């Protein structure tokens, strides 16, 4: 007696597994996009010599990395992309509040107003990503 599986069983399993894997990949995709932007900014900063460009690139990084974090996380989700975008933006906002709070207690070479400005730009960019998602979905 042989127990052969019909040819459609692997396809059914695959179609059931893909959404699960996409849900699992939401935060890793968001983090990967954030890290990718960070690396691009580091590369751009290494190519430019004037010191003023460092501050401009940091501001660009604040906006681009948070936008990419929210957008990539939302785009990875198999459905409910707008709601996922809101949740990912809230997670990013919590992260920024923790970083800014830590900056109050830990002295760095950059002034506190710079950290707050970068954090506000990041939050505005995350909200802009959610608005863009609302238009798309």
The token duo for 24 is: 């699992």
User: 89-121: per-residue pLDDT in tens?
Assistant: 999 999 999 998 998 898 888 888 999 999 999
Judge if pTM exceeds 0.85.
no
**Which H/E stretch holds residue 136?**
helix 112-136
Residues with Cβ < 8 Å from 67, sequence gap 6 or more?
A: 125, 126, 128, 129
At residue 13, the pLDDT reads: 66
User: 22-80: per-residue pLDDT in tens?
Assistant: 999 999 999 999 999 999 998 888 887 776 677 888 899 999 999 999 999 999 999 89
At residue 137, the pLDDT reads: 74
């Amino acid at each position: 007696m042989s127990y052969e599986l019909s040819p459609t069983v692997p396809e059914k399993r695959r179609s059931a597994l893909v959404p699960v894997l996409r849900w699992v990949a939401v935060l890793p995709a968001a983090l990967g996009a954030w890290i990718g932007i960070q690396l691009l900014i580091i590369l751009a900063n290494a190519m430019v010599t004037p010191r003023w460009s460092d501050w401009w690139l940091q501001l660009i990084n604040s906006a681009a990395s948070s936008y990419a974090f929210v957008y990539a996380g939302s785009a990875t989700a198999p459905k409910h992309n707008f709601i996922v975008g809101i949740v990912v933006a809230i997670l990013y906002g919590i992260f920024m509040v923790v970083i800014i709070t830590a900056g109050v207690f830990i002295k760095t070479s950059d002034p506190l107003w710079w950290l707050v400005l970068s954090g506000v730009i990041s939050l505005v960019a995350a909200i802009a990503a959610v608005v863009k998602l609302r238009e798309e979905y």
